[in-house]
Amino acid sequence: MKDYGSRAVRPRLKHTDPVRVALYFNPSILSSFDEQSQKLSVVGTMYMEWVDEYLMWDPDKYGGVTLISLRTEDIWMPDIAVAERLDVGTAVVNLFQPYLIVNNTGFVIFFQQTDLTIYCRLDMRKFPFDTQICEMRLLSYSYDSNQVILSFANTSASNENTFRKNGVWNLKDVAVEEVETLYTCCPFPYVEVHYQIILARIGSFYIFSIWIPCGLLSILELTVFLMHPNSGEKVTLSVNNVLAFILFQQIVVESMPRSGDDSPIIGEINYMHGLVKIKLISNKKHCFD
């Protein structure tokens, strides 16, 4: 490695040739999803491969050795980052795995387990039957498309579904797209790999804890019309129903992010139920008067 040179220099014999880095991120565990702060924490495998033209050798001259392991600090590494990352800066490579694999043709493979916390804007309109799309952009901050070209490593491992089932969310799909982006700061475009992690909520908890009780309360409210007009229990029953709906509404509100962009349909339904019940109570009180 004494003849390798500076690890800050792209590993190209001809400096005008770009380094093509193929990569993928394969999510395996959804460790947490803080819906109020809109933070998604996911654990997965980050894989990268490229050709280092400074690391080619003739196996016959080195005892037939065709594969070696090197430290990441000894050779050039692409500065891959996640634009939406919220924890520990934006860099993907935290070097938990300090070694990479190189063969005699200069083909380099690097992979590691990565824990990412990213910003994910939520659309709560269809809560609790919502599907969330969390976007994640993998890019290089230092190199434009003339220097480094990113692409999706479409391999059997990248398409393998290793996601462990989560009690709240199901991994519906992972969409990948290669995008060329031109920023106002820079004269040349950047090639990025955009991920969309599509999560579908498992709504069984909310069905049994909110929807079914609300439906039963609505049916119970209809019994008011079967009671005697002069019965004081009609007002009591209606008031209790209103308080119960307020309680369920509070449960929904506590699950919502602190954003007013999308109001959930279930919240609007509870709000309308509340208005109807208040109107019924006021009419009954007027009749008593």
What is the secondary structure of 11-49 as a DSSP string?
S-SSTTSPEEEEEEEEEEEEEEEETTTTEEEEEEEEEEE
Provide the pLDDT for residue 268.
65
Provide the pLDDT for residue 210.
76
Bond from prior residue into 128 cis (ω within 30 degrees of 0): yes
Side by side, which strands form the sheet with 39-56?
67-71, 99-103, 105-119, 39-56, 19-34, 148-152
pLDDT digits (tens), the chain, 289 positions: 667 778 889 999 998 999 999 999 999 999 999 988 899 999 999 999 999 999 999 999 999 999 999 998 889 999 999 999 987 655 555 555 678 999 999 999 998 888 999 999 988 888 888 899 999 999 998 899 999 999 999 876 656 678 887 888 999 999 999 999 998 888 899 999 999 999 999 888 778 877 788 778 778 777 777 777 677 677 777 777 778 777 777 776 676 666 556 666 666 666 666 666 666 556 655 554 5
Determine the distance from the C-alpha atom of residue 237 to the mean position of all C-alpha atoms in its chain, rounded to a whole number: 44
Provide the pLDDT for residue 288.
47
Alpha helices per DSSP H over the chain? 204-206, 212-222, 233-255, 265-288
Token pair, residue 197, equals 């992690």
Token pair, residue 134, equals 């969390």
CA distance 222 to 1: 82
Q: Name which of 203, 122, 136, 125 is nearest 174 in CA terms.
A: 136
b/e code 172-204 from CB counts within 10 Å (16+ = b): eebebeeeeeeeeeeeeebbbbbbebebebbbe
Burial of residue 60 (number of CB atoms within 10 Å: 0-12, 13-18, 19+): exposed
Provide the pLDDT for residue 83.
92
88: left (phi over 0), alpha (psi -120 to 50) or beta: left
Provide the pLDDT for residue 133.
95
Token pair, residue 187, equals 């004269």
**Sequential DSSP letters for 139-161:** EESS--TTTEEEEE---TTTT--
Q: Name which of 287, 277, 212, 206 is nearest 243 in CA terms.
A: 277
